[in-house]
Structures are given as structure tokens and as C-alpha cells.
Amino acid sequence: MPVADFEVVLGLEVHAQLLTRTKIFCGCSTAFGAEPNSQVCPICLGMPGVLPALNAQVVEWAVKTGLALGCAVQPVSVFSRKNYFYPDLPKGYQISQFELPICLGGGLTITVDGQEKLIRLTRIHMEEDAGKNLHELAADGGSGVDLNRAGVPLLEIVSEPDLRSADEAVEYLKALRAILLALGVNDGNLEEGSFRCDANVSVMRRGATEYGTRAEIKNMNSFRFLKQAVDFEVRRQVALVEAGEPVVQETRLYDPVRGETRSMRSKEEAHDYRYFPEPDLPPVRVDEALLARVRASLPELPRARAARYQQVLGLPAQDAGVLVGDGALADFFDAALAARGGGAEAARKVANWTIGELSRLMNETGLPPPAWKLTPAGLAEVLALLDAGTVSGAGAKALVEELFRAGGDPGALVKSRGLAQVSDQGAIEAAVDAVLAASPADLERHRSGKKDLTGFFVGQVMKALKGQGNPGVVNALLKKKLGGLPPGEGR
């Protein structure tokens, strides 16, 4: 396998849309999915005479992200114009940061195969998003331009080429996503492109000191596609080098259907973005007061939180990782555990329900935890009902699903939906007797010792009790009635 003779050198450029209410340079809404060109104004349309007015929240969140990632937040940073023509770029230039970005350096730690590794960051800068070109919109093949997204704030987070495999890239992207979610600055949605990444990939022979020529890979809108794209690209480049052919520095598009990268139509002329400082925007200054305020607002970050879950609450590393992978899910867990109270045992149960049933429902509905109708206190109450034996495991599951979808009071739902568990000895005994009486042949087989039919009888009794029999009581009574008497003897 020739790939093993090569080292992969990989860096990621991530573009994260900030969850501000308005665009970076105008007061237009950033809400998603509106009618084309309904969230626009002269500024984001690039009309003559307009000027950009910088959104304070964008600066604050850039600083927050920088602090969370250990960057050196720059006291002075400058916006620049990046010049190129494209229909989705209204002004013919993108307002971005170039020579003096707001954050330099920093990094984040990932864990791959149990090994910790620091991935350094180059920089973080603020910029505006472009609009959307809608291809072949018209009958004549013409395209449409929708500028609702034009001017939505982006953070571009650039890593050093410290990643050495597709798996590391995936871990890095997951860790970065978790941090942005924990900070509440981005929704982490790869599929919709509000959290997207490009990969700079090159290969070099093991032991070599100079990096190979790199290709930039775009269009990887899931963790799986990132892995597939990088793996493909590495194989492609290794094959080229092995064959003595040059790797071309270019932009390549990942095609998820064919699982391969392909060269984007080469541009007519080389990129020459003609960056220069944006004269319409004076320098951005971040003073000590802003730094202190943002520092005080930093939440617990994913790695610290995972460590706490493992060390203080005794959760398995796997479960802790899943919870902190989505800050909102971890917040829900924390709140539910606080409402439930109790130690490691309670934590394990709350975690199981959060990671299991609730994650399933979240993935099914696409609703983030703050949008659920089930509150953390609601989950705590359901678990209390379960522990008290008031509802069965199945009943609790039904209850959680109903609360998740429709909300309501758990106690009241138990009554109105008839979910209360039957623990009454008399009622269960009557059901047991009825089942045994109705199946004399099976009872005979069991008592003759030919076959242990305890499980079968439990099922029959539970069925008779519509699934709401307290399993403990049912088991005890059956055991008494079946096993308490010698075989062959009647009642």
C-alpha cells in the first residue's frame, strides 16, 4: 500500500455563519428560508452610494470565539476589500479581513485513538457572506440571484496544516463545531452550509521536509463526506506522485455521489483579488473593557465539561463526548440532572435518556433542545415516576415522546393516557390466575418440567394487564404460583 509511504498534510478553513439577528453591515434580518430578495436593503444589494455599518455583535462574537480558542485577540484589526466579479457578490468586492485579522494564533486539542493532539490555528477573521446563485432557474437556462444571504456575518477560522489524516480532520471539525455551539455563536449545521469547511490537502513522502503542492477541496457538507473527500484526494495525489506526475495547485469540488474530487473548471485568469484596506470602515478596536466583558461571559467549554462529566459524575467517556458535542444537549442534561438531584446513579440515568431517547427524537425532528416542548424538569419528573414504579420503562418512554412532541404535565398525562403501572396485588393475582386457567396444557408442560414457560406466562399476564403491570409484582406472583407448587399438583 503506497499510501502508507506518504504523510498527509492537511489544514481546514471553516466558515461559520454567526447567529446574529441582523447582517454584518446592515439591519436586514438573517432569518433562513425567506422568499428570494425579501431580506435585502440598498446596503446589502450593493446599490450606489451605500456604506457599511458594522454590527457590534459580530465583533463581540469574534472576540468570544478567539478567547475560547486561545487566540491573541488583536487590539486593532482592519477590514479589506477582496475584489472579484460574481453575480452573488453585489458590490464586486467582498468586505473581509486580510492583513490584520481580529484573531491570530490559538488552537484546539483533539483526541484521536486515545491520543491528545493540539491543532494550531492561523487566524480568525470576520467577513460577509455572498448571496446565492440559483442555477437554471429560468426556462432558457438563465440563473437567478437571491441576495437574502448576502451580508450574513461569517467567521473564517483557519487552521495550520497540523492535521495528518482524514480522521484527525473529522475530529478537529467536530471539536470546533462543539465549541461554537457551546459559545452560542453558530448553529453547526453542515448540511445547510451555515458551518462549512474547505480542506487544503497535500502529501509528502515520509521523512520529507518540504510539503507537497496542495489542492483545496470544497463542497463537503457532512463529516462523512469530509472523510471520504480527504481519503480520495490523498489516494489521488499519492498515485500522481508515484507516477511521477505533478500535483496541480487548484480548487477541487467533492462529488458525494461518485465519492471523488474533481477539478473545478479552471478560471480564465489566475486569481488576483487586489486586496486593499476598506476605506469605508475605520479600524476595529478591541479594548480591555470589551475583552474583560467577553471573557466573563465565556461558558464552560466542551473539553472541560466532558472532563467534569467523567470525573465528577462518573459518566463513561463515550457518553460525555456525545453530550458535549452539542452544547445545547449538554445544557439540557445539566438542567435535568439538577432538577432530578442525586449522584452518579441519577447522572447515569439522565445521561442515558438524554443520549438515547431524546437524541433519537432530536434527530428525527431536527429540533434543537431549546425548541423542545419537554423541559429538563419534565424529564426529571418522568424519571422520578419511573423510579417510584408509578410508570413502567415502556410507559416512561411513551411519556417522554408525548412530552417531547406536545408538552404537558407528566403527572396529568400518566392519568389521562392510562400509563400508570398496575402494582395492585389483587389485580395482578387475578390476571395471573386467569392466564393459568386459560392455558392448562401449557401449564402442564411447564409443571412437568418439559419446558420452562415462565417467560411465556409473564408475557401473557402483561398482555392481559395492557403492558402496565409492575414487572416485579408480576414476576413474584407467577413464580409463587408456578414454582411454589410441586409439578403435577393442582390447586
Partner 1 sequence: MPLSIDEVRRVAALARLKLSPEEERLFAGQLSAILDHVRELESLDVSGVPPMTHALAEGEAVALRPDLPVPGLTPDEALANAPSRQGTCFKVPRIIE
Partner 2 sequence: MSAGELTGLSLQAASARLAAGQVSSRQLTEACLARVAATDGRVGAFLTVTGERALAAADASDARRASGRASGPLDGIPVAVKDLFLTRGVATTAGSRILEGFIPPYDGTAVARLQAAGAVLLGKLNLDEFAMGSSNEHSAYKPCHNPWDLSRTPGGSSGGSAAALAARQCFGTLGTDTGGSIRLPASFCGVVGLKPTYGRVSRYGVIAFASSLDQPGPLGRTTWDVAALLSAIAGPDPHDPTCAARPADDYLSALENGARGLRIGVPREWFGGGLQPEVEARVREALATYQRLGATLVEISLPHSRYGIGAYYLIATAEASANLARYDGVRFGLRAPGVRGLKELYAESREQGFGAEPKRRIMLGTYALSAGYYQADYLRAQQVRTLIRRDFDAAFTRCDVVAGPVAPWPAFKLGEKTGDPLQMYLADIFTITCNLAALPGLSVPCGLAGGLPVGLQLVGRPFDEATLLTAARALERELGPPPAPTALEAKA
Residues in touch with partner 1 (CB under 8 A)? 20-22, 26-29, 35-42, 44-45, 53-59, 78, 85, 87, 133-138, 140-147, 264-265, 268-269, 272, 274, 276-277, 279, 281-285
- Find out whether 25 and 60 touch, Cβ atoms under 8 Å: no
Residue 264 binds which of partner 2, partner 1, none (CB < 5-8 A, kind-dependent):
partner 1
Q: Could you tell me the smallest distance in angstroms from the CB atom of residue 81 to partner 2?
A: 5
Out of 59, 71, 145, 473, name the contact with partner 2 by CB under 8 A.
Answer: 145
- Find out whether 284 and 54 touch, Cβ atoms under 8 Å: yes
Q: Could you tell me the smallest distance in angstroms from the CB atom of residue 94 to partner 1?
A: 16
In Å, how far are 129, 197, 245 from 283, measured between CA atoms?
A: 20, 28, 46
Cα dihedral 226, 228, 233, 239, rounded to 10, equals 160
Residue 91 binds which of partner 2, partner 1, none (CB < 5-8 A, kind-dependent):
partner 2
146/216 with CB nearer partner 1? 146
Q: Could you tell me the smallest distance in angstroms from the CB atom of residue 394 to partner 1?
A: 47
Q: What DSSP string runs through 235-302? A: HHHHHHHHTTPPPP--EEEEETTTTEEEE----SS------EE-TTSPPEE--HHHHHHHHHTPPPPH
Residues 86-105: x where in contact with partner 2 by CB under 8 A, - otherwise, as a string? -x--xxxx------------
Residue 48 binds which of partner 2, partner 1, none (CB < 5-8 A, kind-dependent):
partner 2
Beta pairing, strands 6-17 & 153-159? antiparallel
141/341 with CB nearer partner 2? 141
Alpha helices in 366-470, H assignment, sequence order: 376-387, 393-406, 410-416, 425-438, 440-447, 454-464
Residue 81 binds which of partner 2, partner 1, none (CB < 5-8 A, kind-dependent):
partner 2
53/367 with CB nearer partner 1? 53
Q: Could you tell me the smallest distance in angstroms from the CB atom of residue 181 to partner 1?
A: 19
Give the integer Cα–Cα distance in Å for 358 and 377: 14
* C-alpha cell of residue 148: 437574502
Judged by CB under 8 A, the chain residues 239 through 268 that form the site for partner 2 are 268
Can residue 48 be called a binding residue for partner 2 (CB under 8 A)? yes
Judged by CB under 8 A, the chain residues 374 through 403 that form the site for partner 2 are none
Judged by CB under 8 A, the chain residues 54 through 73 that form the site for partner 2 are 54
Q: Could you tell me the smallest distance in angstroms from the CB atom of residue 149 to partner 1?
A: 13
Q: Could you tell me the smallest distance in angstroms from the CB atom of residue 73 to partner 1?
A: 15
Q: Could you tell me the smallest distance in angstroms from the CB atom of residue 27 to partner 2?
A: 10
DSSP class of residue 130 equals P
281/361 with CB nearer partner 2? 281
Task: Give the three-state DSSP class for 457.
Answer: helix
90/410 with CB nearer partner 2? 90
| Amino acid letter for position 127 | E
Q: At what angle do helices 344-353 and 317-324 cross, to 10 degrees?
A: 50
* C-alpha cell of residue 242: 508515484
Q: Could you tell me the smallest distance in angstroms from the CB atom of residue 74 to partner 2?
A: 19
Residue 211 binds which of partner 1, partner 2, none (CB < 5-8 A, kind-dependent):
none
Beta pairing, strands 115-128 & 153-159? antiparallel
Q: Could you tell me the smallest distance in angstroms from the CB atom of residue 60 to partner 2?
A: 17
| Amino acid letter for position 355 | I
5/99 with CB nearer partner 2? 99
* C-alpha cell of residue 352: 442515558
Residue 472 binds which of partner 1, partner 2, none (CB < 5-8 A, kind-dependent):
none
Q: If binding means CB under 8 A, how many residues of this protein chain bind partner 2?
A: 29
Give the integer Cα–Cα distance in Å for 107 and 222: 22
DSSP class of residue 370 equals G
**193 exposed, middle or buried (CB, 10 Å; 0-12, 13-18, 19+)?**
middle
Q: Could you tell me the smallest distance in angstroms from the CB atom of residue 340 to partner 1?
A: 36
| Amino acid letter for position 385 | L
Residue 284 binds which of partner 2, partner 1, none (CB < 5-8 A, kind-dependent):
partner 1
| Amino acid letter for position 136 | E
Give the integer Cα–Cα distance in Å for 316 and 309: 8
Closest CA to 195 of 327, 321, 18: 18
Out of 2, 192, 239, 276, name the contact with partner 2 by CB under 8 A.
Answer: 276
Residues that bind partner 2 (CB under 8 A): 42, 45-54, 81, 83, 85, 87, 90-93, 145, 268, 272, 274-276, 279-282
